[in-house]
Amino acid sequence: MGFGFDTSAEDIKVFLDEAEEMLQNMEGGILRLEKESDNPEVVQEIFRAAHTLKGSSATLGHQRMAELTHSMENVLDKVRKGKLEVTGAVVDTLFACLDVLKAYKEEIATGEESGVSAQSILEQLAAIDRTGSAAPAAAASLPAQPPAAASSMPAGLPQLTPADEEKVKSAPVRGMTAFWAHMQLDKNAAMPAVRAFQTLLAVGDIGEVVRSWPTQEEVEEDKVGDDMKLVFVTRESMEVVRTTLEGIPEVKILAVSPLSLATPAPAPAAAAAVVAEPANAEVAMPLATLTADPEGAPRREATATAGQIKGAKNSSRTVRVDVEVLDNLMNTVGELVIERTRLLQVLTHLETDREGDEASQVMSSALAQIGRLTGNLQDEIQRARMLPVDNLFRKFPRMVRDVAQKAGKEIEFVVQGEETELDRSVIEEIGDPLMHLLRNSVDHGVEPPMDRLKVGKLAKGTVTLEALREENRIVISVRDDGRGIDPQRIRASAVKKGLLSEDAARRLSDNEAINLIWAPGFSTAEKVSDISGRGVGLDVVHKNIEKLNGSVEIRTEVGKGTEFRVKLPLTLAIIRALQVEVLDTTYCIELSSVVETDRIPTSEIKTVRQREVIVKRGEVIPLLRLVDAFGQQRPADFVEPEEVFVVIVAVMGKQIGLVVDNLIGEGDVVIKPLGKFIGDIPGISGATIMGNGDVAIILDISSLVNTVQTELNRQEAALSR
């Protein structure tokens, strides 16, 4: 059954963005807490995230999320006060809370109830809270709280809407206090509307304005008198509230007081927990996050306000932009690149026909400037699409911990190069392949503690995830210090599974044998693991990386460990390509997959097992004629030239030579998808528009290489039978 919230779609979007950040902070904090249980900053980081999430979720109206984060605060508060020891049970319970909170976040995102109940987790938190408490806190030791006001509306305060009343009533649940204030604007003020707006901003800096008279819209329209009333909620004390209001020029405070409306009293346990929260904890502003002084530090209102103003100024330098907007901008830039190329071609003809003409020289200068501007625009849009891989990497520590616990292993997980930037479209697609590689490294790469000790290693294994930039590509490395991949075991497993004959397996080099792990369903595991198996699922990893125009290299040493090096393009929108021609059709080959180009005499082309090959530096390279790959037909009077152009390409260490009619040159091309009506065509990944308006085909090199390799393997298997 679906449910909705009494708020705008934009507010929900902002909440989801903030909630994702808070959940990630909590997950990272809990992981650190397991290792640094005596570090107060770690506990404070988790508490701050839970506190912020509690406030914003309560404002949004998701009470179950607010209740769960509130119970987490109770436990975390005891930890930071030294009344509760951080044990494995405490960490596991906090992680269980995190899983439920993620489910609740999805409820808000989809508008559909997940069916996830937090009752058992709440009971665990309550049990930890009870048994971990050293002694009941004395009332005198609690921070002073503002006195409760009468439950009736103050005299002279206009009527609140039901939604406003709900915000006031829920303030204590969120650890906040509701206030009402009555101010008088100076009658001699030159701009009373400005002073009224300053008042709204000042209150917004320390809390949330529930309702104002006049409203913000009326203030902006200069519809103000000399009287102003406010209802707002804040975590600040009465002293801070009064100091803030007194700091506004030409505004006199007539009255300011806590506000309480008639509402059912909270349960004793919940009430005690709210009172127990420190008065100077972080301000839980709805749908936003503010920083505050650490607990116990003397609070200086002037300094805090200055810090908040500085933070507001810094935040104004960034805006959230929908991904679709960035995609549209990139497409527009791509069209500009195409038109720039067309203009360049036109200019070339003009200069040929009218050499030295002044008009053509002016056009040449203008076109050069357009070229520079287009290039700058392309670079800036590309920068806007780039994100640090930290956004992806931060999801893995929890997964590695859980897999290690389930496998009974001790793992030190090291993350490096988180600041390396990658196109967000690539980041979205590479998450699953990296997850598979990490799970396999933990479950099958690193040995059990006793096995490691027997061979002189430390009981705790190390798994490292690293990102770095190499020229125009990003390399993501997943490596472990485990047992390594034994090519002999790979060969034996391939023979046992009937993939190769014993003779064919013996002829494989070690590198070729190791690359068999990419075969579908291949595994050397003696028993099936519900976590992973080295080889199980790796064919999916291989395919997904190829779809990104990427590649993966395996480096391994028996007894020392294994490294998977995933190489990815910086972006999927614009690529540098080699343009070739076959039967008056232009094809584009991504430059990163090109090893070399050569002009080969046809006499050097040999036929081995019905496949044309050439020999380069002692290595046999199979050939694929593009004219045959796509079923094109040569004219009946076609005469084979004495020399042919060959483009040698490589994917995952496998090389083939593409035979083409002509080499055109290099250039940037904008990738255009073929569309759902055309569908997936083997060997073709997309299309682009050339400067002359013609359509060029972008080749899927991975598909072409695999087609040739599959045919070679089939022939090998047939001969071995």
Active-site amino acid positions: 51, 73, 440
Tell me which residue of 594, 654, 582 sits closest to 621, measured CA to CA. 654
Cα separation of 34 and 119, whole Å? Answer: 24
* Beta strands 585-590; 594-601: pairing state: unpaired
Cα separation of 418 and 394, whole Å? Answer: 9
Q: Which tokens in the block code for residue 546?
A: 């190829």
The phi, psi pair for 7, rounded to 5°, reads -155, 170
- Rg (alpha carbons) of the chain, rounded to whole number: 33
Tell me which residue of 668, 695, 701, 699 sits closest to 686, measured CA to CA. 699
Q: Which tokens in the block code for residue 552?
A: 């993966």
Express the helix, strand and coil content of the chain in percent, nearest 5 each: 45, 20, 30
Three-state SS for 470? strand
* Beta strands 177-185; 251-258: pairing state: antiparallel
DSSP codes joined into one string, 58-103:
HHHT-HHHHHHHHHHHHHHHHHHTTSS---HHHHHHHHHHHHHHHH
- Cβ atoms of 499 and 511 within 8 Å: the answer is no
Three-state SS for 691? coil
Q: At what angle do helices 40-60 and 63-80 cross, to 10 degrees?
A: 160
Query: Within its chain, how far is the Cα of 396 from the centroid?
Result: 11
- Reported residue count of the chain is 721
- List the beta bridge partners of residue 659: 625, 646
Tell me which residue of 570, 554, 551 sits closest to 562, measured CA to CA. 554
- Cβ atoms of 278 and 295 within 8 Å: the answer is yes
Cα separation of 370 and 562, whole Å? Answer: 49
Q: Which tokens in the block code for residue 363?
A: 């056009």
**∠ at Cα 697 (693, 698), nearest 5°?**
120
